[in-house]
Amino acid sequence: MNPNPVKIAVVGIGMWCRAMANAMQRSQAFQIVTCYTRTNAKRDEFAAAFHCDAEDSYENLVRRADVEAILLTTPNNTHAPMAILAAENGKHVLTEKPIANRIPEAKKMIEACRRHGVVLFVAHNQRRMAGIRKMKEMVEARVLGKVIQAEANFSHNYGFRLTPQSWRNFEDECPGGPMMTLGVHPADSVQYLLGPVETVSAFYNRLCLQTEIIDVGAAVLRFTSGALGYLSSNFVTPWVNYCNLYGTEANLYFTCELPTPNVAVPGRYGDDWNYADRYTQLFLKRRGEDRKVPIELGSSEILIEEVKEFADCIRKGKSPETGGQEAMKALAVILGANRSAREGVPIKIADLLAE
């Protein structure tokens, strides 16, 4: 048993919050002391399942002396005001991605946490998969030679489950739809692998859904290195999650195929993500060779690894791998794609980050 677990409050009780709460309990780095969501029945159910109490308002929750940190698994547009209020009350913040819906909101979160001396940690977990880690290692070792192109797509058919009661149904609450919900993951991963994106140009469409949001988007990226990239996401097809890198000496091909691609099983989906390395493959094709060769990968529990790092940031003063600045760069790529699709012109990421 950990003699000094971080006392945390869970805010926003939905499908993903249980995955994170399970990871926190199993990590033994946290003690869940309370929870909050607007629905009484959900609060009571969560409190019973995780042996904590429940608060009837977020304002009361952040004022509690026994709460050191907050987990936010709430709609995107609530991240900024909730994180800022948490910081003002001296609470460390672990928020789900994206960091926010707008660059100015993200900056306010970063500044509030800096000013009040608390950790801001954004849950970009896909870069933690063993295949992505191995790709990073091989890029840095120049196994691929000069990397000139990247391709990434993260998509599934969650859009068919959207209703007018869902916040993801609306452009103001989820700008860019699947690109913001899903595409922000590869927007982080490809920059982790190849460095910052300089310019983005995109096309969006709505082909199947009766929603405010689009259901498919595709973007072309120009990295500051000169490499080009393709990033796409949709809300209406069977599961897709791949990331490929192409270099002068070799190519890398990464895929992740979870066994619950319709994300229809609460709890199971999160558990599968924790063990995502069981469902990933990485292949290498060298110059002059005529076939792809599988690369042996290690394995980690990526959600448990993520929350343990958050605890280390609080207890040991470690800097988050995916803090506010890293998360804002991923957000900027998606917002750049949104603007490019809307205005029909390429968008410079530096201009967005200057807002």
Digitized pLDDT (tens) for each residue of the chain, 355 residues in all: 788 999 999 999 987 899 999 999 999 999 999 999 999 999 999 999 999 999 999 999 999 999 999 999 999 999 999 999 999 999 999 999 999 999 999 999 999 999 999 999 999 999 999 999 999 999 999 999 999 999 999 999 999 989 988 999 899 999 999 999 999 999 999 999 999 999 999 999 999 999 999 999 999 999 999 999 999 999 999 999 999 999 999 999 999 998 754 444 545 556 778 889 999 999 999 999 999 999 999 888 999 999 999 999 999 999 999 999 999 999 999 999 999 999 999 999 999 999 8
Q: Are residues 245 and 274 in the same domain?
A: yes
Task: Please report, for the domain that includes residue 118, its CATH number.
Answer: 3.40.50.720
Q: Are residues 97 and 173 in the same domain?
A: no
> Whole-model pTM?
0.95
Strands (DSSP E) contained in the chain are 6-11, 30-36, 53-54, 69-72, 92-96, 120-123, 147-155, 197-205, 216-223, 228-234, 240-247, 250-256, 280-286, 293-294, 347-348
Q: What is the number of structural domains in the chain?
A: 2
Q: Are residues 130 and 159 in the same domain?
A: yes
Coil, strand or helix at 241: strand
Q: Are residues 16 and 133 in the same domain?
A: no
Q: Are residues 214 and 160 in the same domain?
A: yes
C-alpha 98/C-alpha 75 separation (Å) is 10
Q: Are residues 258 and 146 in the same domain?
A: yes
Q: Are residues 98 and 137 in the same domain?
A: no
C-alpha 284/C-alpha 286 separation (Å) is 6
| DSSP code string of 1-26 | --SSPEEEEEES-SHHHHHHHHHHHH
Q: Are residues 311 and 286 in the same domain?
A: no
C-alpha 294/C-alpha 147 separation (Å) is 19
Task: Please report, for the domain that includes residue 260, its CATH number.
Answer: 3.30.360.10
Q: Are residues 101 and 169 in the same domain?
A: no
Q: How far is C-alpha 281 from the geometric centre of its chain's CA atoms?
A: 20
C-alpha 286/C-alpha 305 separation (Å) is 32
Q: Which amino acid is at 144?
A: L
Contact in structure between 5 and 23 (CB atoms under 8 Å): no
User: For residue 228, what are its two tokens?
Assistant: 């080009």
C-alpha 167/C-alpha 249 separation (Å) is 45
Q: Are residues 63 and 132 in the same domain?
A: no
> Would 27 be classed as within a structural domain?
yes
User: For residue 245, what are its two tokens?
Assistant: 């890198």
Between the CA of residue 300 and those of 56, 132, 242, what are the distances in Å? Answer: 36, 12, 19
